[in-house]
């Protein structure tokens, strides 16, 4: 459970702060020109990163407090 929480937090922070790196790893091959992600992709990825980070932190909180 702790390992999954840490993975969620690290993945979420990557999605929030290094969106272009995350795009290159996961979605670059689907783009026709492969130059940069769209604004909508950046927004959605950052929102997903925030959710992943919150869930990971909540899991750690529940594990250590309860």
- What confidence score (pLDDT) does residue 52 get? 97
Q: How far is CA 37 from CA 2, 3, 41, 62, in A?
A: 32, 30, 6, 35
Instruction: Measure CA of the first residue to CA of the last residue in the chain; give whole Å.
Output: 13
Specify the pTM: 0.85
Who wins on pLDDT, 57 or 26?
57
Say what the pLDDT of residue 20 is.
87
* Distance from C-alpha of 44 to C-alpha of 1, rounded to nearest angstrom: 26
Structure confidence by residue, pLDDT tens digits, 18-49: 998 888 888 877 877 767 888 998 999 999 99
CA distances from 39 to 43, 50, 58, 65 (A): 6, 17, 29, 39
Domain residue spans of the chain: 2-65
Dump pLDDT digits (tens) for 1-12.
Answer: 899 999 999 999
């Amino acid at each position: 459970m702790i390992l999954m929480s840490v993975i969620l937090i690290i993945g979420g922070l990557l999605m929030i702060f290094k969106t272009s790196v995350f795009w290159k790893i996961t979605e670059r091959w689907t783009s026709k020109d492969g130059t940069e992600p769209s604004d909508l992709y950046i927004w959605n990825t950052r929102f997903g990163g925030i959710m992943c980070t919150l869930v990971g932190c909540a899991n750690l909180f529940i594990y250590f407090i309860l």
